[in-house]
Structure 1
Amino acid sequence: MPRIVKQLGRVDYEPTWRAMQAFTDQRQPDTADELWVVEHPPVYTQGLAGKPEHLLEQHDIPVVQTDRGGQITYHGPGQLVVYLLIDFKRMHIGVRELVRHIEQAVIDMLAEQGIAANGDVDAPGVYVDGAKICSLGLRIKNGAVYHGLSLNVDMDLTPFSWINPCGYANLKVTHMKNLGVNLTVAAAADKLLPHLERHLSISKETA
């Protein structure tokens, strides 16, 4: 079944999250999968099991309690966010395998830019020399996936220093620009989407 890519631009987090919930609740067996490509204004999002002590310093960045897995993370301008609204039942794989496929799509895209990255079986996401460059948080409801990944492209990393990113104290965070790759978020999306298509084994239809 073809999938639909929606380029939503820079949008607030909370209404986008609510729209993902509504889309997932209204899914039918023949509903096409969608990938939503966005940027967010500065926001911290806290996962279902998120612990408040992982917010180390309170600034004027809002904190949204959300329903994905994982702990606190930061979204902001210069970060590519791809929300994966996928019928997980159709894939016939396990959750861990799904996570590995998503991570590998990012790893393959970074390799094309000359960046050697890796996953971590104990801590979902993508890392470069121990520094996190891509976070991953999913929710599966009635066999359907929503939420997704956030790849640091060219952004102010300072707000990460005010949290324990993903619940890990002293976790270093990096972005593509620090690694010598100068891309816009839109250009990074263009390079990442084909790898996501391949690893999720679904064809492309742009809306």
Structure 2
Amino acid sequence: MPLNRPLVTVVRAGRHSYTAGQQLQQHLAKSDQILDPPSKFRNYLVLQEHDPVYTVGLRTKEYTAADEDRLRQLGADFHRTDRGGLITFHGPGQLVAYPILHLRQFKLSMRWYVSTLERMVIETCRQLGVPSATTTKDTGIWVGDHKICAIGVHGSRYVTTHGIGLNCCTDMRWFEQIVPCGIEGKGVTSLSKELDRSVSVPEASEALLSSFASVFKCRLQDRADDKPAGGGEISSTIK
């Protein structure tokens, strides 16, 4: 595999609060990295699960303090974010992946980035046995009229943050309290529901790593020990 492909460091963050996840994201995408030459920017792919939380994107204005209180009373946190998209849920059993990439090392186009992110999720679902996952006119990845993966990203000075939430073995009852992503008349699903078996976050993570390396045409290494991460097109240790 060509060594000139971009290198992406995989951070397996485990389960934590949404606040902790945002602090980690901000640390990895810190401004002093962005000011360096783009070729020196260290790209990351953060894999994590969140404690129950509802998040809304930049376009969501209609959620009031009363709405926020109602959702918090269910036992979930609530956050307003700078990502695109409307309201969604993150929680145990959902793989949340944040690619923190400098697009000058890939392609200088947010449209390309979102499209490639979509193709990566579709390939991940295919590897796991859900070949019908696809895009529609609505955001996210769908199986029929049911969303299996939410996508909401942010870009600043060609550096991407936020990412995807892929339902693996998520408790779907959390979504009954909202209109996911503001799309009326459609539902949500998970890998476990589609495959009629339990699909864990670690299992989905390995498929996602393989798909990410292949679709983004990059090399992956683990942050902990700088050893190759996941399957597919993986690099040897290079810092």
Structure 1 range deviating more: 20-29 or 170-179: 20-29
Q: 2:218 aligns with which of 191, 202, 205?
A: 202
Gaps of 5+ in 2: 1-5, 224-239
Q: What one-letter code is carried by the residue in structure 2 that aligns with 1:64?
A: H
Cα-to-partner distance string for 1:5-25 (whole Å, 9 max, x where unaligned): 010100111121133123322
Looking at structure 2, the residues matched to 26 and 198 of structure 1 have their Cα atoms a distance apart, in angstroms, of 29
Structure 1 contact 99–124 (Cα < 8 Å) conserved = no
* Count of residue correspondences: 206
Structure 2 contact 128–207 (Cα < 8 Å) conserved = no
The Cα shift of 1:53 comes to 4.4
Aligned position for 1:43: 53
Structure 1 contact 35–84 (Cα < 8 Å) conserved = yes
Aligned position for 2:153: 138
> What RMSD, in angstroms, separates the aligned Cα atoms of the two structures?
1.8
Secondary structure of 1:201's match? coil
Aligned position for 2:206: 190
The Cα shift of 1:196 comes to 1.0
Looking at structure 2, the residues matched to 61 and 170 of structure 1 have their Cα atoms a distance apart, in angstroms, of 24
Looking at structure 2, the residues matched to 60 and 156 of structure 1 have their Cα atoms a distance apart, in angstroms, of 13
Q: What one-letter code is carried by the residue in structure 2 that aligns with 1:194?
A: S
Looking at structure 1, the residues matched to 177 and 133 of structure 2 have their Cα atoms a distance apart, in angstroms, of 25
Gaps of 5+ in 1: none
Looking at structure 2, the residues matched to 52 and 206 of structure 1 have their Cα atoms a distance apart, in angstroms, of 40
Q: What one-letter code is carried by the residue in structure 2 that aligns with 1:202?
A: C
Q: 1:17 aligns with which of 17, 22, 26?
A: 22
Aligned position for 1:179: 194
TM-score between both structures, scaled by the size of structure 2: 0.81
Structure 1 contact 51–71 (Cα < 8 Å) conserved = no
Secondary structure of 2:192's match? helix
Aligned position for 1:26: 32
Seq. identity, %: 29
Q: 1:8 aligns with which of 10, 13, 37?
A: 13
TM-score between both structures, scaled by the size of structure 1: 0.92
The Cα shift of 1:132 comes to 0.1
Secondary structure of 1:154's match? coil
Structure 1 contact 86–145 (Cα < 8 Å) conserved = yes
Structure 2 contact 169–200 (Cα < 8 Å) conserved = yes
Structure 1 contact 9–39 (Cα < 8 Å) conserved = yes
Please tell me whether residue 68 in structure 1 is matched to residue 83 in structure 2.
Answer: yes
Aligned position for 2:105: 90
Cα-to-partner distance string for 1:90-124 (whole Å, 9 max, x where unaligned): 2224222211111111111212233111012x322
Task: Name which one, 1 or 2, has greater alpha-carbon Rg.
Answer: 2
Structure 1 range deviating more: 13-22 or 63-72: 13-22
The Cα shift of 1:139 comes to 0.6
Structure 2 counterparts to residues 52-131 of structure 1, below 5 A:
52-53=62-63, 58=71, 59-115=74-130, 116-120=132-136, 122-131=137-146
Cα-to-partner distance string for 1:137-173 (whole Å, 9 max, x where unaligned): 1110111001111100001011111111111123200
